[in-house]
Amino acid sequence: MNDLALWQQANDSALIEHILSRYHQTHRMQLGGILPLAEKVAQVHAGSFPAELLPLLHTMQDELLNHMQKEERVLFPMILNGAGSGAAMPIRVMMHEHDEHEHALRQLHSLSNGFTPPPDACPSWQRLYAELARLAADLREHIELENRILFARTLAS
C-alpha cells in the first residue's frame, strides 16, 4: 500500500498534523539551509552558476512560506472546524498556488540541469543540487497529499 493510500484512511486532524510536521517544518528547515548555500555558490562561481537560480529560490521561499502560513492560519483551522465544501474558495486558491509551485519546480529543474552539477563542481555546489532535489521531491509529495487527499476529501464533504 502506498503512502497516499495510508493517508486516505487517516482522519483530517492526523493528516494535517502529518503535513505540518513532515512538510511545513521540513520545508522551512530546507529553505533555511539552501538559501545561504545557494548565495555562497552563486558568489564563488559567478561566471558559471546559473544567474536566474538565486532569484528563483528567493521567490520560491517567499511564496512557499506565505502559502504555508495561509494554510496554517486559515485553511487548516477551517477544515478542522468542519467547513467542508464551505472551504472551497480557499482550497481553490491553495491549489492554484500549488500549480505555481509546480511551475517553479520545473524552472528549478531546468536551471539546475536536472539537479546535476557540472563535472568540476565544488562540494558546496554538489550539496546544493542534492538539497534542491530533496526539496523538489518533498514539495511534490506535499502538494499531492494535499490536493489528492485532504482537499479532495474536504470538497466532497
Q: What is the pTM of this model?
A: 0.94
Residue 81: Cβ within 10 Å count:
10
In whole angstroms, give the CA distance from residue 120 to residue 40: 17
28-50: average pLDDT? 96
pLDDT band at residue 74 using 50, 70 and 90 as cut-offs: very high
Range of the domain at 43: 4-156
pLDDT band at residue 2 using 50, 70 and 90 as cut-offs: low
How many domains is the chain partitioned into structurally? 1
